[in-house]
Structure formats: structure tokens, C-alpha cells
A and B are shown apart, each in its own frame.
Chain A
Amino acid sequence: MSKPQSILIVDDTAENLTVLRDILAHEGYRVRPVLQGALALKSAAADPPDLILLDIMMPGMDGYETCERLKADEKTRDIPVLFISALDGTESKVHGFEVGALDYIIKPFRAGEVLARVRTHLALQEARQRLVAQNVELRQAASLREDVDRMLRHDLRGSLAGVIGFSELIIDELGPENESAEHARVIAGAGYAMLSMIHSSFDLMKMERGVYEAKAEIFDLVEVVRQVVSEHGLTAEQKSLRFRYTFAETSDEDALVRGERLLCHSLFHNLVKNAIEASPPGRSVEFRFGLKGECTEISIRNAGVVPEGIRGRFFDKFVTEGKTDGTGFGTYSARLMAETQQGSVRLDCSELGHTTIFVALPHPTPAESAQFRTARSQAQSDHVRRFSSIELPAADVLIADDDPASRAYLKRILPTPPLRLSFATNGNEALARLCENSLAVAFIDLEMPGMNGVELVQAFRAWQRARAPGTASRPPTPVLIGISGHHDPVTRERCREAGFDRLLTKPVAKRKLYDELKQALSPGSAVVHLDPAIRDLIPDFVASQNALLKELEGFVAMSDGGRLRSLAHRLQGSFAMYGFETASRLSTAIEAAGKSEDFRRARILIDDLRAHLRRLEIRFA
């Protein structure tokens, strides 16, 4: 047996102590008898026993007080205390339990009862301690697993960004008709499929618990579905399947939704895979896009039949039939992903010999749709021009990323000249380059080993402040653009606080990168010329406007469109009168967002306005 358990007995009567000690020692316990409450406290604190037997009526400190003090001391609070007393009234017992005792033995006691109770409470105490220890272990294991998950997810995402980005670049360069471009498309497709797996393996648990935060963006589902279909090209070819797209009630031949693009990619990846597998050879799989109430609805129809037995449970977990490699996870996760985006899925088997799955996802407001379509046609016409011919000014650009694939990707797609690129593989190198003060733009990976992106930018901003104390706004360059595998609000807020100007999420689309660069490098956009007569007013003015921006954010958080609008109106007026034209324009846009109660847009605009003010260089002329 291991070390004998120790019991502290406290009683002012020496005879009682002797009797108790004999009973307990006979059973192999290590017994420490004490005659006073105060001594018991000292003894317990010096060498905590496994259990305490405590008399109540003692001169000086009585048993109740002794117990209270034991419970108040961190070192002794967890030791089980059993009262042993001649007081057998209910009140005495209740009070005993109130001050923290676990049990109450009445004098005169019988040896068997004392031993039985002591044994029980020692066993309980042991079990409790085991549970606590296990809990700690479990928590450590869980946190370790989450760390590994996060790293794996980030690293995978980073590498996949390279795979997808380079493949798309090859497709771009070769042109869509080229055979090698077709191969590159397969590679890109595999990359997207792996992204889907990351989603299903890591994010699904979050979705199940309802804590996954979907990134809301406006995009065209048709593009997503076409991409997914191209990923299944080989299987479809083997089965001689055809794909048909039809559109209802919309002449735009698109299906705009508000959701998370990559999540939709995974969602349709699963459903299209099922449809292809279920479809008999030589038939067609049809996609029909339309509107239904507040939602954009897409149906996937194939000539397969879902066995009657599983129709009612089609979207439940682990339901599968007739497939040897099925996990029963695909349709379940599709449903979960749809619901995470405020959408839904349903199965329709009413048509003989066919199966149709309907997916509904929220569609954007008419204004958002119009804006999206305008931006798209603009981007398409931009795309016609080759990237190298896009007009960018000569500028020094730093790329700070520890992942060679990410660096290579940026190096490949950023045109040199006119840009001059330099690279850093860790935070310290990057900081040194930033402090040389010749950079126009820096792309900074958030998750570098050692000094990470956030710490780097904090350090650099501190350096800037130390060099130019008392300036109202910080210098417009370099523009600091963060690149991260995460897009959650916490990350965004951390970046903003650290002093990033912008944050991009991996994988970064080429077009997005160009837009950012163009905006960051467009001359004059971050310089404002003001009347020298009002020079003294400016520091106060900028500070008070920033305070008002904080208020604006509050109104967004409260979804208070009325006050948002009226405060934005005021900002618009004062910015205009002081000569801050861009800021005034942005305020007008915030006012409009307040009017239409579009708080998401308002938040984005407020962020833009803040970033603009931060970057702004004020000149007096």
C-alpha cells in the first residue's frame, strides 16, 4: 500500500483524543491529535492531512470557527472536515454543514461508525482529486489539439494558396484553350478540394456547436458551381455525363448570394459529387438558379434515385447507403454549411426516376447586387488588359512571409518593374527593412514564427511615433497590408489596433491584390492640402473626429440607423468645410448606409474612413 493516509483529530478532551487515535491508528491511518482549534490550524497548514475530525465545543476557538478558518485558507480548504460532537440538535448540525463540514458524527460515537464515515469521505476525496487531475489533463490535451489544428489549418491554407494561385496564374498565361491550362485547372481544382477538406474536418465541429463565424461576402454562385463541376471533370467524363445550367426569373445569368464563398465551395463540392456518383452514365446533371422569397435558390437534379428508406434522414449524420466509400458525412455537412450561412437544403424525390436537391442561400439587397455587378463588369474589362500593362507607379514593396510558396507567388504576380520587391522571412528582418524608410507598401504575413506580423507592426508604429512625436496623423507610407489565414473579427480588430492599414485573407486573389496595390500607390489619394490659416485647429479637429467615429461605431453596434445617419451627416459637413474631401465623401456614404440600415456596409465604410485618416498626410498650402 502507498503512504498511509493522515488524519488530524481536534478535541479538547484528552480521553476522546486517545480513543479516536486508537481506533484510527489500528486501521493503519497516521493520526495527529491536537487539543485546540488554533493549534489545529497551524498543524493543518504546515502539513495538510487527508481528513480532519473536529470537536465543536472547545475553549478558545470552537470547532465552527476552526472549520471556517480552514475553509478560508487556500492551503486547507479542500481537506474534508467531519464534526464529532455531543451537540445533537438539528441546528448544531445545520450550522456545522454551513461552515463547510462534510459530515457530522454524534458523541458518544461507536468505533464502527467513525471508521465507516472516515473511510467513505477519504474515498470520496480521492475520487474528487482524481477528477480534478483528469480535468486538467483533458484541458491541456484539448488546448494542445486546438493548437495543432490551428497550425495545421494555417500551414495547409498557406501552401494551398500557393497551389491554387500558381495554377490559376498558369491558366491565365496559357489561355483557356491550351491543353496544359486544362491540367493546371485540375491542379487548382485539387487545391480547392483540399480547402474543402480543411473546412469539413476543422470547421464542421465549430458549425455543429454554432460558433463558426461565416464571412459574409457577396458573390456569384454560378461561378462557384462551375468551378466545382470542373473539379469533377474526370469522373464526369468517365461516365459521359453532361451538365446543364438554366436560369429562372433573372436575365443576368447569375445567382448572387450573401455567404462565405469557400464554404459554399465545400457545400457544393459535396452535393455535386453525390449527384455525379448517383447519376446513371450518359445522363445529365442539371443546375437551375432562381429566386425564392428572401433567398437565391439553386436546384441540382440528377437521374438517380435515393432509396426510400433514407429519404427522411437524407441530411442526417452518418446516413449512407449503397456506397462502399461513403461516410454519410457529405450531405450532413452540406446541410450544416447551408444553415451556418442562414440558408437551407432540402431533398425532393417526388419526380419519378429523378432526385433534386434544393439549396437556398440569402440573396443580397438590390443595391448590393447592382454594386457587385458593376464591380464585376469593371473587373472583367480590367482583366482584358494584361497584368503587366496595369499602370502602377515605381515603388518599393516589401514582402514579409516565412512561407516560400507565398513569397514565390507574390513575386510572380507583382510586376517588376515598375515595382521593386524585397523580401523578409521573419519579423526582425522585416522590421529592419521597414525602418529604412524607403518602402511604399509592405505585405506582412500575420503568422510568422518569432516576431509575428502583429508584433512587428506594433513595434514599427512605436518606432514611427518615437521619431515624430506629437504629429496628429502618421505618415502615409509605408502602407501596411496584413495577410492572414484567418478572417474572424478578433483577428481584424487586433490588426487594426496594431496599426495595419488593411487586412487580406489567404488565399489572396490576384485581382484583389492588384486593387489593394493600386489603391495604396495611387498618387495624391492620401495627401490633403489645407488652408494654412486653420493649421492650429487641425490636431483638435482630427482628434474630435476620431472620437465621433468611435460614437459612430457604437451606433452601428446598437443598430441605431437614425443616430448613425445624423452623426455621419455632421461628420460629412465638418470634413467638407475643413477641406477633407475624401473623408467627407466617405461620411456621405456612411450616412446613406445608415439610412438604408445597412450596418455591415456602415462598418466597412467606417473602417475605410479610419484607415484613410490614419494614412492621410496633411499639407498646408
Chain B
Amino acid sequence: MPAPKRILIIDDDPSITKLLKIKLEARGGIVTAETTVPYQAAALAKEFLPDLIVCDIDLGETDGGEVAQKISADSRTGSIPIIFLSSMITPDDMSQRSGGRRLISKKLPFAEIIELIIQEIPA
């Protein structure tokens, strides 16, 4: 059996991190770590070494772009793909990329969001 894929979820709303965790892990073969505290995200990434990071954009005291930059700047976590998941992204925005990163709108039906995240997990 292959090792489970690891996903790190960064969102300042705990109701969202819990929901994503439950729905992603329900797919099987996935484990998640999650944080609602943005400045802990980079440290958690180094420790957890996920295969994929899902990050909100509006994180209250900081924004997702800064968190992503910090993670990418570190040699141990620099190659991990990061997806932005935010309600600031409209479904129309999703064709674009931000700093080479995939954009997903929170306004999509939830099942679709989960599918799109799964698709982004590197093989």
C-alpha cells in the first residue's frame, strides 16, 4: 500500500479547516494537518512536509501570498505545490494563476472544491 498523501490546510476559519480535513480524509489515502494561525504555517510545513498545501488568501492579520512566499523560500519546503482557496477568488478567476499557483474559488460547490484539490496532489 502506498504511503498516504499529506495535505496541509491553512485557513483562519476553524470551521473551514475542520470541514476540509473531514472531507479530504474521507477519500482515503490522505492525511491532513491544519492550522488557523498563519505565522505558524511555515514551521508546520517544515515539520509535516506535505505533498500539497491549501492556503486561504484573506488570513486576517496577514495574507496567503506572504505565507506562501515564506514556505517557498525555504529549501526544505520550496518545492511543495501550493493552492490558493479563497472566496476572494471568483470562479472566473480560476483560469489564471498567481505566481504559478493554482486558484480555487470557495464559491464553487463544495464537492467540486474537493475534486479540484485532489487533482492537484502530485503523483
Chain A interface (Cβ < 8 Å from any Cβ of B): 531, 533-534, 537, 540-541, 544-545, 566, 569-570, 572-574, 576-579
- Give A533 to B19 CA distance when docked, in angstroms: 10
Pair B13/A570 contact, Cβ less than 8 Å: yes
Q: Which residues from chain A contact B18 at a C-beta distance below 8 Å?
A: 537, 540-541
- Give A566 to B59 CA distance when docked, in angstroms: 11
Q: Which residues from chain B contact A533 at a C-beta distance below 8 Å?
A: 22-23, 26
Q: Which residues from chain A contact B13 at a C-beta distance below 8 Å?
A: 570, 573-574
Given contacts A537-B19, A544-B14, A544-B15, contact A577 B110 (CB under 8 A): yes
CB-based nearest B residue for A544: B15
- Give A265 to B26 CA distance when docked, in angstroms: 63
CB-based nearest B residue for A545: B15
Q: What per-residue 1/0 map shows which CB atoms of B84-111 lie under 8 Å from chain A?
A: 0001000000000000000000110010
Q: Which residues from chain A contact B113 at a C-beta distance below 8 Å?
A: 577
Asked whether any CB of chain A lies closer than 8 Å to the CB of B73, the reply is: no
- Give A574 to B15 CA distance when docked, in angstroms: 7
Contact of A534 among B23, B106, B107 (CB under 8 A): B23
Q: Which of A534, A541, A570 has the most CB of B within 10 A?
A: A570
Q: Which residues from chain A contact B22 at a C-beta distance below 8 Å?
A: 533-534, 537
Q: Which residues from chain A contact B19 at a C-beta distance below 8 Å?
A: 534, 537, 574, 577-578
Contact of A572 among B15, B26, B58, B87 (CB under 8 A): B87
**CB interface residues, B 17-48, toward A, < 8 Å:** 18-19, 22-23, 26
Pair A576/B15 contact, Cβ less than 8 Å: no
- Give A127 to B87 CA distance when docked, in angstroms: 73
Asked whether any CB of chain A lies closer than 8 Å to the CB of B16, the reply is: yes
Q: List 29 A-B contacts (CB under 8 A).
A: A531-B23, A533-B22, A533-B26, A534-B22, A537-B19, A537-B22, A540-B15, A540-B18, A541-B15, A541-B18, A544-B14, A566-B58, A569-B87, A570-B13, A572-B87, A573-B13, A573-B16, A573-B87, A574-B13, A574-B15, A574-B16, A574-B19, A576-B87, A576-B107, A577-B16, A577-B106, A577-B113, A578-B19, A579-B110
Q: Which residues from chain B contact A579 at a C-beta distance below 8 Å?
A: 110
- Give A544 to B13 CA distance when docked, in angstroms: 10
A533-B22, A534-B22, A545-B15 given. 14 additional CB < 8 A pairs?
A: A531-B23, A533-B23, A533-B26, A534-B23, A537-B18, A544-B15, A566-B58, A569-B87, A574-B15, A576-B110, A577-B16, A578-B15, A578-B19, A578-B110
The 3 closest A-B pairs by CB, nearest first: A573-B87, A574-B15, A573-B106
Q: Which residues from chain A contact B110 at a C-beta distance below 8 Å?
A: 531, 576-579
- Give A531 to B19 CA distance when docked, in angstroms: 11
Q: Which of A540, A545, A574 has the most CB of B within 10 A?
A: A574
Specify the main secondary structure of chain A where it touches its partner. helix
Q: Which residues from chain B contact A572 at a C-beta distance below 8 Å?
A: 87
Q: Which residues from chain B contact A578 at a C-beta distance below 8 Å?
A: 15, 19, 110
CB-based nearest A residue for B16: A574
Q: Which residues from chain A contact B107 at a C-beta distance below 8 Å?
A: 576
- Shortest CB-to-CB span from A149 to chain B, Å, is 49
- Give A576 to B14 CA distance when docked, in angstroms: 15
Q: Which residues from chain A contact B58 at a C-beta distance below 8 Å?
A: 566, 569
- Shortest CB-to-CB span from B107 to chain A, Å, is 7
CB-based nearest B residue for A533: B26
- Give A560 to B26 CA distance when docked, in angstroms: 40
- Give A569 to B87 CA distance when docked, in angstroms: 8
Contact of B106 among A531, A545, A576 (CB under 8 A): A576
Q: Which residues from chain B contact A544 at a C-beta distance below 8 Å?
A: 14-15
- Shortest CB-to-CB span from A335 to chain B, Å, is 50
Q: Which of A541, A570, A573 has the most CB of B within 10 A?
A: A573
CB-based nearest B residue for A541: B15
- Shortest CB-to-CB span from B110 to chain A, Å, is 5
Q: Which of A540, A545, A572, A577 has the most CB of B within 10 A?
A: A577
Q: Which residues from chain A contact B26 at a C-beta distance below 8 Å?
A: 533
Q: Which residues from chain A contact B106 at a C-beta distance below 8 Å?
A: 573, 576-577
- Give A544 to B19 CA distance when docked, in angstroms: 14
- Shortest CB-to-CB span from B13 to chain A, Å, is 6
- Shortest CB-to-CB span from A405 to chain B, Å, is 49
